[in-house]
Structure 1
Amino acid sequence: MSKKVLITGGAGFIGSHLADDLLKEGYEVRALDCLSPQVHGEKRDRPNYLHKDVELIIGDIRDKEIVSLALQDVSIVFHLASMVGVGQSMYEIRKYTDVNNLGTAILMECLIDSSVEKLITASSMSIYGEGAYQDGFGTIHHNSKRYVSDLKNKKWELYNDGQELQPVPTSENKVPALSSVYALSKYDQERLSLITGEAYNIPTTALRFFNVYGTRQALSNPYTGVLAIFASRFINNKPPVIFEDGNQQRDFIHVSDVARACVLAMESEKANGEVFNIGSGKQYKISFVAQKLAHVMGKEIKPEISGEYRVGDIRHCFGDISKARKLLSFEPQKNFDDGLLELSQWLEHQIANDSIEKANQELSKRGLTI
């Protein structure tokens, strides 16, 4: 008899791809998802891309009765349910805390009385705040930060004793530096999961995802991943808006690699009680990414560089994935060019309600852009 897997947030971007992989491996898959209008539209219909063999329970992660129902006969849980977005989290503080923190707490309480054998929770690179940096003497700095006085003068990079620091790959050993409500909530999800798992002998793993991109991402959600936001603008023949000078660096990983990392964490005993960076191990400037996406989409539209800072944003962060390589035998397989081409082909058939200008206005009127 095959094991049953529950994916919270399982009708979403990452969850649906993970469901496909699990079904191929012979697992039964159940998804618990509230079908948030911000992600799935006002009608909240079952997504067409969600595999027909996925059992979908429409419900809120904060509803203990629904969560208990979803856990019946389940052996493995992937906890992906989350409100996502740095900017929005800075003014919808209660909602992010309620869904992400309280929702995880309710899931943990339900797990105590369940027969679940393993838990894998989605964390985020956002918990690091600024990534790791190196000075000219080779010293690594893990607690670097930027100051408002510098940002107001468009001094974007980080410095130590007047010397500009250079970004280097960030490992799991870096102490979290939580710079947004979203980051705080993701760290809370991670720690709640690991603490509960250890206390109740439920093998638990936290995966710190970097910037995930690919098909099925919500194009009409202005707080989703940066590539989906750029794609939404290009579909509507508008330039993507980039904060600061566009030279900030990020690690982009294809959703298929993320789904595979989830399966590897599920299957490996070496993952128990551990946290892992799940990224590509490469980094790209945001302005370069915008230009590259425009090219593959056939759009001659240059990004708009705002020269503004968004509260909660960091300058550079990209992953050291050596731990996942060593313990999980994880190796990213989709290179960036191929991933963007696949994305552009999917985008040809998509419609996006572009609301990024409205979202940026929300930030501006609250003083969250400098």
Structure 2
Amino acid sequence: MSARRVLITGGAGFIGTHLTRALLAQGSEVTVLDNLLPQVHGADRSDEDVVAALGGAAFVRGDVRDAEAWTRAYDGHDVIVHLAAETGTGQSMYEAARYTDVNVVGTARLLDLLTNTSHQVSRLVVASSRSIYGEGRYLDADGGVHYPGARRVEDLNAGRFEPLAADGTPLQATATDEDSRIHPSSVYGITKSTQEQLVLSIGEALGIPAVGLRYQNVFGPGQSLSNPYTGILSIFTTLLRSGAAINVFEDGRESRDFVFVSDVVEATRLAIGSDLPGSRVYNVGTGRAVDVLEVVRTLAATWGVEADYRVTGEYRLGDIRHNWADLTRIRADLGFTPQVDFAAGVAAFAEWARAEEAGTVGDYERSLGEMRSRGLMPGGGA
């Protein structure tokens, strides 16, 4: 990919920092716009800390909801990578206004600039999410395709966690492709779907090629160890390091596609450098399902500890059962193939985390209490 002038919103965050360094290394000029949200960055992170961590990018401290911040950041760039968003399925269910404001209004501010000012932007990339699918793609015994809706509370309370067909017959989860039904089951998923649609629609209208990257569950060095609202590898690492018990929701067989941050950066870099026209969407993952019990056991083995975990039957309203990526399209169009398998990624994450200050168990317990107090995390199964 040739050098570009790239603006990355949320570029001081986990994915953004890795992407910024990769783009700088290939000779691109990078500007980062980030508000340094304390929930993600901690209360004491300074602009100087960010500039040092980014290794040469220009930094603008500002909120994507603030038109003036956009104006300060956005001149002179030919690529905009929009990563900035509130993240966290559970928290989104009781902070709907904040999630909608940041994710939707913040994106609309960018699009207002693109449609109402002169600029040289020639490519847009927006971080979408696997959460926009809700439940993934399922097959019945005859090979028929199903996209189950929200699971029934009475089934969840009885410990029946697997989605069923409308007629009550069993289904088998399979990889989710980009043509699968979009039916998010959380406020977070709804806002990410809206972000994607806004960027692709305005890009199409203005003739700016736009790419939506539907990231699966991203993990790796640099992930926040103190934010209890997102990232089970960080949360479980904090609990393992402290010797606290891990609360495994449902029966522990719920699965996700855990993709290492370097692979996400490579997919994003390929999207920036692509010369394919029009609006496009791609899954970014590994194509492999990993269940929560495998996460616990892999982390424990990597840390060399005996995991104290309890399969509690609790569940969070808004969570889904299974979702992992079909990578056929991104392989064909962008030549993307993930390079880091789950075990190797966990080992690299743990090696980094050993030198970092651990998060606190109290923060995690408080986050669960917030959901329970609002009736969003019913207790116990069969």
TM-score under structure 2 length normalisation: 0.94
**Aligned amino acid, residue 274 of structure 2:** S
**Contact in 2 for aligned 1:229/1:240 (Cα 8 Å):** no
Q: Deviations over 1:153-199 (max 9, x none)?
A: 11101122343211000011112112110001101110010011111
Equivalence for 2:212 = 206
Instruction: Return structure 1 stretches of 4+ with deviation > 4 angstroms.
Output: none
Counterparts in 2 of 1:220-235, with a 5 A limit?
220-235=226-241
Match of 1:362 among 365, 370, 382: 370
Report how many aligned residue pairs link the two structures. 370
Shift of 1:347: 1.0
Corresponding residue SS for 2:86: coil
Corresponding residue SS for 1:208: strand
**Aligned amino acid, residue 301 of structure 2:** H
Shift of 1:49: 7.0
Equivalence for 1:263 = 269
Matched residues in 2 for 1:144 and 1:169: separation? 17
**Contact in 2 for aligned 1:287/1:303 (Cα 8 Å):** no
Matched residues in 2 for 1:48 and 1:105: separation? 27
Shift of 1:287: 1.1
**Aligned amino acid, residue 187 of structure 1:** S
Corresponding residue SS for 1:170: coil
**Aligned amino acid, residue 34 of structure 1:** N
Corresponding residue SS for 2:54: coil
**Contact in 1 for aligned 2:84/2:103 (Cα 8 Å):** yes
Which deviates further from its counterpart, 75-84 or 229-238? 229-238
**Aligned amino acid, residue 159 of structure 1:** L
Shift of 1:231: 1.4
Equivalence for 1:146 = 151
**Contact in 2 for aligned 1:49/1:216 (Cα 8 Å):** no
Shift of 1:34: 0.3
**Contact in 2 for aligned 1:311/1:368 (Cα 8 Å):** yes
Q: Deviations over 1:43-64 (max 9, x none)?
A: 1323487222011111111110
**Contact in 1 for aligned 2:40/2:227 (Cα 8 Å):** yes
Structure 1 unmatched runs, 5+: none
**Aligned amino acid, residue 343 of structure 1:** F
Equivalence for 2:319 = 313
Corresponding residue SS for 1:99: helix
Matched residues in 2 for 1:334 and 1:271: separation? 29
Shift of 1:280: 0.4
The CA RMSD measured in Å over matched residues stands at 1.5
**Contact in 2 for aligned 1:291/1:302 (Cα 8 Å):** no
Matched residues in 1 for 2:277 and 2:309: separation? 40
Counterparts in 2 of 1:2-151, with a 5 A limit?
2-45=3-46, 46-47=49-50, 50-112=53-115, 113=117, 114-151=119-156
Corresponding residue SS for 1:67: helix
**Contact in 2 for aligned 1:143/1:177 (Cα 8 Å):** no
Matched residues in 2 for 1:159 and 1:323: separation? 28
Shift of 1:151: 1.0
